[in-house]
A and B are shown apart, each in its own frame.
Chain A
């Protein structure tokens, strides 16, 4: 029993002490004081760093503006029309969709499988965990540069592997057919370790007596896994999915050193599309429109997801 408490989640501990706290819960006056004291700074920061920039972007998106001085040439919703008429924008959106799909269909299951294997205590488990987590520690730009060498069709690792089979090595990043695939592989490689760590942490704080009870009742290992462990992991899985999708929508710094969105926009994400078209071309109004569209997509997703899947948390 002592062991059980030791591994209980912080939430469980808080739950046990909650009744005592409730008996001397804050009065309405107290809450009001807290509100007066703590709300203004938070509200100020939120306005300054979140509301204002978004409002500004929305304002700029109505102008044909090159980013110098004050915007003057108001064109209404034309920038949005231009964005939606651009083929590259839809390609970027499709690519973001692909990244989300790959994250959910390959990355998370891979992370979960590895976590189930490595959550147990055995010799070398910690070393293996570190090894899988390593790519996540590496800076995105560095990762991109490293992989641009790995993928190089003349000198890269991929090329030398290809040559051992006697074939002419491909330039993965230079072809519209393979560039996005190459980027996706790097994404999975880079981020699965992060999700694995989340799952391991969740698994270790799991109430093991429930699994033991299921086993005593005659459940096989896989039955226990399917009906006890995985359901207990749902909160973490939901969080992981949330991180994976939001991260996928914002992906930028891996793409730039690898392909800069090319060739022919085939590996652009929404953010690299924003950068290539808004910043490099000095079309800040147009770029702002892309930013606003991206923001709307992210916010819509975040609220919907929270409402549907994370209601209890």
Chain B
């Protein structure tokens, strides 16, 4: 299970080889809850908490992922044992691929998959919205054209065409979110993506959902033995999780879909967000709603993948392993098929 610790002043430490979580309740009483280390998979903590080093040790012993996030969901860092997930050979191959045309093949694959996911999602929306068919068809064609342009990009390395790719990707994204907003009920519509702060509840939910996804992707990369900081397309800035931003693209649709369904199903209301200067932010209730919906989507509903029924979290991990294996040529650069 995941433990999401949000209450200010909560203390996480160890008692009898179990995690003890101590917090003050509103009525002033002290609440203590115990969780067996073998049952906990991840502890997610926001700021304003305390954590003991013994708790960190217990977490490392049981492969529990300690993730620290900001209030709006962006991961700040994590505690994970410092071993590589796999062989160093993978990291060397990853560095090489980042400089040659193999990296570009992968980047194009990820972007095309992302845009195809967006296209398919709009196609799905058409099923129950006959009156908007023309509008949606128009968007589908535009995104398909962009996908073809990505396909046509050639170069000796990703750097040569990365600006063009970023442009095409950005345009597809704008079209996609424009469509989502158009389809939503009037009161949930929004004007494009916004970050820090999110200008509307939809963006607040989406930012938090992407935040959770970033955390997940970083973990699958580490587990597969890849370096989350060596990206193919995203710039190698100081402390940029470049590979995370590259690898996340095909899976962003998971976050998009969960958030969209919450809004289109009118599950979200005023009690889930708090207004802040210049925008909106998720509160505890909103986070609980989103996290539960997201976990259910990623870990409960199995989808078909290579002839097996698997949950999405597992598929992402398998894709990461497949990517790593292809880098060290255990597997050919097989045709990429994600979710």
- Asked if chains A and B come from one complex, the reply is no
